[in-house]
Amino acid sequence: MSVAVAGMKLDDLGNLVLFDRKNSSAWQSFDNPTDTLVLGQSLCRGNSSLSAKPSITKWPGARVYLSAELDGLQYSFKPAAYTQLFKATAASTNATPNCYAFVNGSFGFPDKVFSLPLAGSMQLMRLESDGHLRLYEMGIPQLELRMVLDVFFEGSGGGKPLLRILLEIEK
């Protein structure tokens, strides 16, 4: 980062924003996801993706990715050439979206790619080391995360479990 940071703020959505002396945003966590998205966060073409290190593989540098692409959300495993594209199930406009947002009830707003259960409390999605994208919700009043949905495999995705893909690739 080439901008001098004068301060930081954690907003109501959980976005950590670093700002300069003019109070302009220099960096924000929502633009740089790692393996987790919270409600209101987006994956945008060309500059953000979720990534996780697989727990079982013969390739030490292997990664699983979920990224925004022209036609939808792309799930990939590298260094193997495995990819799966999840396309929008309902298009809201004729324009091609640059970003796919995680909003209450769906992932892919404005063009819905996955239908999700409505939030009863705080929700997050995490791309995990087994290759699954899971939706979690904060339990009340115990305040523990509980898994609500395996998005690729129980939801509208119908994907193939990563463990099976890895076993096929490594033969």
With cut-offs at 50, 70 and 90, classify the pLDDT of residue 93.
low
pLDDT at 114: 86
pLDDT of 96 strictly over 70: no
Reference 103, options 84, 123, 127; nearest CA is 123
Residue 65 tokens, joined:
């990715």
Q: Which of 1, 29, 5, 31 is nearest to 19 (CA)?
A: 5
Say yes or no: 143 and 98 in one domain: yes
Residues 22 and 43 in one domain: no
Instruction: Report the predicted TM-score, pTM, of the whole model to 2 decimal places.
Output: 0.76
pLDDT for res 135: 94
Domain shared by 15 and 98, yes or no: no
Distance, first Cα to last Cα, the chain: 43
Please check whether residues 18 and 43 belong to one and the same domain.
no
* Mean pLDDT value of segment 23-46: 85
> What digits encode the pLDDT tens for the residues 113-170?
888 999 988 899 999 888 889 999 987 777 788 999 998 776 544 555 554 555 455 5
Digit-coded pLDDT (tens) for 47-56: 778 888 887 6
DSSP state of 29: G
The token duo for 113 is 């790619």
H or E segment and range at residue 17: strand 16-19
Domain containing 64 — which CATH number? Answer: 2.90.10
Question: How, if at all, do strands 145-150 and 25-28 pair?
Answer: unpaired
